[in-house]
Amino acid sequence: MWNERNKALMLQSQKGIGLIEIIIAMLIFGVGIMAAIRTLPDSNTATTRARNLTVATNLAQEKIEELMALPYNNADLSAGNHNDPLNPLEIHYTRTWNVTNNVPVTGMKRITVTVSYESASKDNSVTLNTYLTSRR
């Protein structure tokens, strides 16, 4: 008897989903999709910026490692500005380096490698510094 009464109450409370509920659900879903679509251009810009910075940093680090492996009196380590003969690298990256003698002390060279690239953002270059000593 108790089970039959509960079954009757349950059948009365299950009316199903109405048209109004479906329209409201579709409206909420549509607003969510539109918000997600509006973030895509910003996301794409941020991804491109991060990729450019990563490639530029890797190219600068690669050049520093090449220069550190050279003998102290190599022509590429002479004082002044130097351009990479392979410019532009990876289609649109330009790599240069500057060598300053006797900085910060006598017998040392400061090497500054700069990789720049075309970009709409203000940060369109990466600069890395290192020091090289004649005593290695």
The single residue listed with the structure tokens 């050279």 is 70
Q: Report pLDDT for 135.
A: 82
Inside any domain, residue 1: no
In Å, what is the CA distance from 59 to each residue of 32, 40, 54, 77?
A: 41, 29, 9, 18
Would you say 62 and 113 are in contact if contact means Cβ atoms under 8 Å apart? no
Specify if 95 maps to a domain.
yes
Q: How high is the pLDDT of residue 16? A: 65
Residue 3 lies inside a defined structural domain of this protein: no
47 within some domain? yes
Q: Residue 13 pLDDT > 60, yes or no?
A: no
Q: Is the pLDDT of residue 93 over 70?
A: yes
Residues 6 or more apart whose CB falls under 8 angstroms from that of 89 comprise 59, 95, 115
Domain range for 84: 14-133
The answer to the question of residue 5 being in a domain is no
User: Cα separations (Å) of 127 from 8, 32, 69, 123?
Assistant: 77, 41, 19, 11
For residues 111, 124, 86, 99, the Cα torsion angle rounded to the nearest 10 degrees is -10
Question: Which pLDDT tens digit goes with each residue over 34-51?
Answer: 999 999 998 998 999 999
> Does any domain span residue 45?
yes
Asked if pLDDT for residue 1 goes beyond 70, the answer is no
Residue 59 placed within a domain = yes
Please report, for the domain that includes residue 83, its CATH number.
Answer: 3.30.1300.30
> Domain count of the chain?
1
